[in-house]
Amino acid sequence: MSESPYRRLEKRFERLLLLHDAAAVLHWDWATMMPRGGAQARSDQLAALKAVQHGILTDPETGDLLQAAGAEGGLDAWPAANLREMRRLWVHATALTEDLVHALSKAQSACETAWRTARAESDFASVLGHLETLLALVREVAAAKSGTLGVSPYDALLDEYEPDGRSDEIDAVFRELEDFLPQFLGEVMEHQAREPAAAAPEGPFPVDRQRALAVRLMEALGFDFDHGRLDVSLHPFCGGTVDDVRITTRYDESDFTSSLMGVLHETGHALYERALPAAWRGQPVGLARGMGLHESQSLLIEMQVCRSQGFLTFAAPLMAEAFGAAGPAWETDNLYRLYTRVAPSLIRVDADEVTYPAHVIVRYRLETAMITGDLRAADLPGAWNDAMGDLLGLTPDNDADGCLQDQHWYDGAWGYFPTYTLGAIAAAQLFDAATKADSAIRPGIARGDFKPLLGWLADNVHSKGSLLSTRDLLVQATGRPLDAGAFKAHLKRRYLS
- pLDDT means per 10 residues, the chain with 497 residues, are 91 97 95 92 94 96 97 94 98 96 95 95 98 98 96 98 96 95 95 92 96 98 97 92 96 94 96 97 97 97 96 98 96 94 93 95 97 97 96 94 96 96 97 98 98 98 98 98 96 95
Bond from prior residue into 204 cis (ω within 30 degrees of 0): yes
pLDDT value of residue 355? 96
pLDDT value of residue 1? 60
The Cβ-side half-sphere exposure at 232, using a 13 Å CA radius, reads 7
Query: What are the residue ranges spanned by the domains of the chain?
Result: 5-150, 169-496
Q: How far apart are CA 11 and CA 479, in angstroms?
A: 36
Pairing of strands 244-249, 238-241: antiparallel
Q: What topology does CATH give the domain 169-496? A: Neurolysin; domain 3 (1.10.1370)
Least Cα distance to 184 among 432, 486, 493 occurs for 493
pLDDT value of residue 387? 96
pLDDT value of residue 2? 82
Catalytic residue among 10, 266, 273, 295: 266
Collect all residues with Cβ–Cβ distance below 8 Å to 184 and sequence separation of at least 6: 354, 488, 491, 492, 495
Q: How far apart are CA 305 and CA 274, in angstroms?
A: 19
**Residue-wise over 131-155: b if at least 16 C-beta within 10 A, else e?**
bebbbebbbbbbebbbeebebbbbb
pTM over 0.85: yes
Q: How far apart are CA 342 and CA 66, in angstroms?
A: 51
Contact 272, 294 (CB under 8 A): yes
- Axis crossing angle, helix 418-437 with helix 484-496, rounded to the nearest 10: 80
Is residue 266 annotated as part of the catalytic site, yes or no? yes
Beta strands in 137-276 (DSSP E): 228-232, 238-241, 244-249
pLDDT value of residue 73? 84
pLDDT value of residue 49? 95
**Residue-wise over 392-417: b if at least 16 C-beta within 10 A, else e?**
beeebeebbbbbbbbbebbbbbbbbb
